[in-house]
Amino acid sequence: MLFFCVALFFYCSLSAPKWHELEGYTFEQYEHDFRKVYTQDEREDRRALFLANLNSIKRHNKDGAFTWKQGVNRFTDRTMQERKALNGGIPSHNVKLHPNQPTHIDLAAFEEVGAVDWRAKDVITSVKDQGDCGSCWSFGSAETVESYYALATGILSDLSEQQILDCTPNPNDCGGTGGCGGGTAQLAFARIMAMKGIATEWTYPYISYSGKNYQCHVDSNTPAFTLVDEFYTLPKNKYAPVIAHLATEGPLAINVDASAWSSYEEGVFDGCNMTNPDIDHVVQLVGYGVDDKLGPYWLVRNSWSAAWGESGYIRLRRHNDEHNCGIDLKPGDGTGCNGGPSSVTVCGICGILYDTSYVKASKPPK
């Protein structure tokens, strides 16, 4: 994934104003709130970008037709091209269905559950922040392994995104060029299996926040905390298997088009381009529910820090919308490899149903 992926664990929650406090907000305040440092030549260009984006945010928030609000964050002084330089995804090739995947799903039974939130089950680690590295593919995959290891053992621990970034070859340019240049969660899962496990964040810490790549330094002395025994994908572009898995099994690593997410602050988002969505970001789907005023939603964990969105999460409009599909004309931005198809059909809000994966995790042998 080449676009929005970025992360750091100890990112401070900055004192930025909320969407309803933006009247009179200045570029100088923005510089202070987000600790921005520019060169003299750059500063005026950033000011112009900030003011244009701020005006767009204000116009959006005044329009009562929208079910979500936009706000300022660290992306407000960036161009769309810069925002899209930070993403990654899960490829649709060489996937494996779980052998026990049911052929018939009683959808009504899972709809009646009303709400599922895996955070309440103590299997979701704290929201992380990729920084300026296109590493969402390593974050979405590590988070998924964390959750399934916790489900299997009762032990929740942060795992090493950096090990995935440093040690995962990407010869076919699947979802990018590897490292901070993008990759896929499927590559990450397979590589963890090949490495006989993954270390914790504390023994192999994340250092690529600024966007720099590093050499792999896994050796016989690197302790593996978690094994990936196998990984699976749910049926492509199908609503029922996704909601059933969330209700009964656990969270999912998903691919989405996050190109319109950068200014999101709160509410139920449905602002994606569903004609030609560009799948470009790996995140974790952790639940679903119904807002009393705004209706049904998917609950998605992002990796742009807890200062973004709803404490690091976004709620996406949820429908049984496997027939609400578009054509992704750039599969290589998030899911495709060299030699793959030039376009793919993706369904669900922001392409959320297109490719959803999970793992079987266990303890390493002593």
- pLDDT confidence of residue 165: 97
Cα–Cα distance between 279 and 351 in angstroms, integer?
7
From the candidates 281, 325, 337, 350, give the one annotated as an active-site residue.
281
In a domain, 190, yes or no: yes
In a domain, 14, yes or no: no
Cα–Cα distance between 146 and 166 in angstroms, integer?
19
- pLDDT confidence of residue 88: 47
Ranges of residues in the chain whose predicted pLDDT is under 50: 2-13, 88-97, 99
From the candidates 5, 53, 133, 136, give the one annotated as an active-site residue.
136
**Do 327 and 344 form a contact (C-beta atoms < 8 A)?**
yes
The domain tally of the chain equals 1
- pLDDT confidence of residue 91: 42
- pLDDT confidence of residue 110: 65
In a domain, 7, yes or no: no
Scan for tokens 């999970």, then name that residue. Answer: 358
In a domain, 25, yes or no: yes
In a domain, 5, yes or no: no
Cα–Cα distance between 148 and 128 in angstroms, integer?
18
Taking alpha carbons only, the member of 228, 224, 230, 168 closest to residue 200 is 224
In a domain, 40, yes or no: yes
- pLDDT confidence of residue 174: 87
Structural domain for 76, as ranges: 19-362
Q: How much of the chain exceeds pLDDT 90, in percent?
A: 70
From the candidates 73, 302, 347, 350, give the one annotated as an active-site residue.
302
In a domain, 3, yes or no: no
- pLDDT confidence of residue 101: 55
In a domain, 129, yes or no: yes
Which CATH number covers residue 133?
Answer: 3.90.70.10
Cα–Cα distance between 68 and 308 in angstroms, integer?
14
350 is catalytic: no
217 is catalytic: no
- pLDDT confidence of residue 105: 62
- pLDDT confidence of residue 44: 92
282-328 confidence digits (pLDDT tens):
999 999 999 999 999 999 999 999 999 999 999 999 988 677 899 99
What are the residues facing 129 on neighbouring strands? 304
What is the three-class DSSP state of 176? coil
> What is the C-alpha radius of gyration for the chain, rounded to an integer number of angstroms?
20
- pLDDT confidence of residue 175: 84
